[in-house]
Amino acid sequence: MYYTAEDGRQILDGTAGLWCVNAGHAHPKITEQIIAQAKTLDFAPPFQMGHTKAFEAATTLAHMAPEGLNRVFFCNSGSEAVDTALKMALAYHRMRGDGLRTKLIGRERGYHGVGFGGIAVGGIAGNRKHFGPSLSAVDHLRHPLDISRNAFSKGLPLHGAELADEFEQRLLALHDPATVAALIVEPVQGSTGVIIPPKGYLEKLRSICDKYGILLIFDEVISGFGRLGSAFAADYFGVIPDLICCAKGLTNAAVPMGAVIAKQSIHDVFMQSAPENGIEFYHGYTYSGHPLACAAAIATMQVYHDEKLFERAANMSAAFEQAAHQLKGLPHVKDIRNLGLVCGIELEPLPGKPTVRAYEVFERCFWEKNLLIRTTGDIIALSPPLIISHEQIDTLFSTLAEVIQSIK
């Protein structure tokens, strides 16, 4: 649960590194397997070939994934997983003879990494504006954050499911649903400050996609691997997408790795469309299924299972929620939102100086209080490792409260 600074200070990790060290830092069982793998097979080409550990990692991940999603494509990051999934969606429709479906829909304030596909469907202006037009056939849903109606919601906000209807009534009406290949959303938006989907919202998106033959992609780069107390957010919500992007917690971040998990039916279209001995999917990375990453992934998923960390996260989430909402009423705090072991605390910005107030909280926590938090804009985002104890939850929020009270 701690980083050790150069001066020996023990810093409590309130962010699991960057939403990724879900099993805690330097887990010996994961470290051991990475070392053993480095001594056994350092690299093997992933094109036209595979190695045992890649198949084992894929099989283990497929078992953990929601039913029906059982085909795995490995890459090296969340950004690569997103670009891979978008390309899969486009190619899938084309291979089925439905090549009109070339448009991709994302969401405002969505974060899908920094590849050209990811920034195009993503909805963060700063990530897009320096890089030209990127993909053109893209549009965005509105994001569902509505502090005026949902401030201080515990768990799923009650208001806003109707925003999902806009997908059909506004975007599909405008674009013609027969031209849309896929909708990509983070089930819980993380990077832009923890936006929890309103009750019933994701279910609506799923049913609209079904109605029009549009693939639904869940970007579970942060919501996967126990963050909400289940393997994936898809399980938590009972909403099953066609493709899942994941990374981060897949290897406990000890070795970079990402993956796309696809429905068998999508995989089969590729396999059936390619000529014998031909390439099924013109896409891949030198380091896809890297042996060290596979060893880390297998060990990590074993740790999640053996230590029942997803159940643990589910059990701790009530205490986490309660401690988080005790900050209601502190100066500058305009909203607190949470789900599983994720929490966003939104501060009123300093007049004319957005981000400065939250950043000061971050700095004071880190340098004076030995606590690592994350801020994005004026929002504090917390996502501790799933091994956090009750005592550490109390320390996390009481330290934060003290710092928030002390700033201007």
Ligand X SMILES: Cc1ncc(COP(=O)(O)O)c(C=O)c1O
Q: How many CB atoms lie within 10 A of CB 175?
A: 14
Q: Which of residues 54 and 222 has its CB atom nearest to ligand X in the complex?
A: 222
**Which residues 93-122 are close enough to bind ligand X by CB under 6 A?**
111-113
| Closer residue to ligand X (CB): 18 or 318 | 18
Interface with ligand X (CB under 6 A), residue from 23, 30, 69, 82: 82
Contact 327, 396 (CB under 8 A): no
Compute the least distance from the CB of residue 32 to ligand X, in Å. Answer: 24
Nearer CB in complex with ligand X: 23/327: 23
242 contributes a contact to ligand X by CB under 6 A: no
Q: Is 77 in the site for ligand X (CB under 6 A)?
A: yes
Cβ atoms within 10 Å, residue 131: 11
Instruction: Determine, following the binding rule CB under 6 A, whether residue 335 of this chain makes contact with ligand X.
Output: no
Task: Assess 191 for contact with ligand X (CB under 6 A).
Answer: yes
Instruction: Give least dist CB 113 to ligand X, A.
Output: 3
Q: Which residues of 347-381 are buried (b: 16+ CB within 10 A; e: fewer)?
A: bebbeeeebebbebbbebbbeebbbbbbbbebbbb
For position 222 contacting ligand X by CB under 6 A, the verdict is yes
Task: Tell me which residues in 126-165 interact with ligand X (CB under 6 A).
Answer: none
For residues 199-230, one letter each, b for 16 or more C-beta atoms within 10 angstroms of the residue's C-beta and e for the rest, the string is: bebbebbbebbeeeebbbbbbbbbbbbbbbbb
Q: Which of 65, 151, 78 is nearest to 110 (CA)?
A: 78
The reply to whether 79 sits near ligand X by the rule CB under 6 A is yes
Q: Considering the rule CB under 6 A, would residue 190 count as an interface residue with ligand X?
A: yes
Residue 245 or 404 having the CB closest to ligand X: 245
* Residue 235 interacts with ligand X (CB under 6 A): yes or no: no
Tokens 């891949």, residue? 284
CA–CA dist 393, 384 (Å, integer): 9
Q: Are 75 and 87 in contact (CB under 8 A)?
A: no
Query: Closest approach of Cβ 402 to ligand X, in Å?
Result: 28
Contact call for residue 224 and ligand X (CB under 6 A): no
The answer to whether 263 contacts ligand X (rule: CB under 6 A) is: no
CB 405 within 8 A of CB 331: yes
Residues at the contact surface with ligand X, assessed by CB under 6 A: 77-79, 82, 111-113, 186, 190-191, 219, 221-222, 247
